[in-house]
Amino acid sequence: MVQFMRKSLLAFCLLWFMMTSCSTVHRSPSKPPIDFDPAYLNQQIRLVVVKELSAFKTDQDIGLLLEYNNTNEIVFPNNYNLRIFIQQDGQWVEIKEKPTIRPSDEVVLSPNIPSSYGQIVAFSPQLGDLTKTYYVRIYIFGDMTNPEGKKQQVASFADFVLTP
């Protein structure tokens, strides 16, 4: 009888584990929302999720760290050409940013500007339901000028979760 109870308990625990782990599995869409040359994606610049910069809550602004990792000048418009995507039904869906007050000047990253090596990109996504959890991907795009004077678009993205 004791052995039957042990086996039953073990079977119940395994079944419970399978049910709870399967229900929380997060499947990322197989195709990224933007097709971009990997040589210029997350190479020259990098967006970093830093827990101390944001609470990552659906009703609060988000701050990510933009790291500059280049010797060429990179110029962004004041909104960083920011694009925000959320996962919805196994697909990436682009959403808008809430209106944000930013300086009107371009953002210039250069080895000659000491503040270039770490900037905070702040934004607030327009979310339909603040009581839901969202899987988010944000992209930023800038124009890099190489030593020959040619411009090349560079980009970076970061993934994170927003919770109520």
Rounded Cα–Cα distance for residues 118 and 141 (Å): 16
**pTM given for the model:** 0.80
Which pLDDT band, with edges at 50, 70 and 90, does 2 fall under?
very low
Rounded Cα–Cα distance for residues 83 and 3 (Å): 58
79 exposure class (CB count in 10 Å sphere: 0-12, 13-18, 19+): middle
Please state the length of the chain: 164
How confident is the model over 46-91, as pLDDT tens digits?
A: 999 999 999 999 999 999 999 999 999 999 999 999 999 999 999 9
Q: Which of 33, 30, 95 is nearest to 58 (CA)?
A: 95
Rounded Cα–Cα distance for residues 65 and 80 (Å): 13
> Is 4 a residue whose pLDDT tops 50?
no
Most confident of 29-33, 35-39, 113-117: 35-39
Domains and CATH numbers, the chain: 31-162 (2.60.40)
Which pLDDT band, with edges at 50, 70 and 90, does 18 fall under?
very low
Which pLDDT band, with edges at 50, 70 and 90, does 100 fall under?
confident
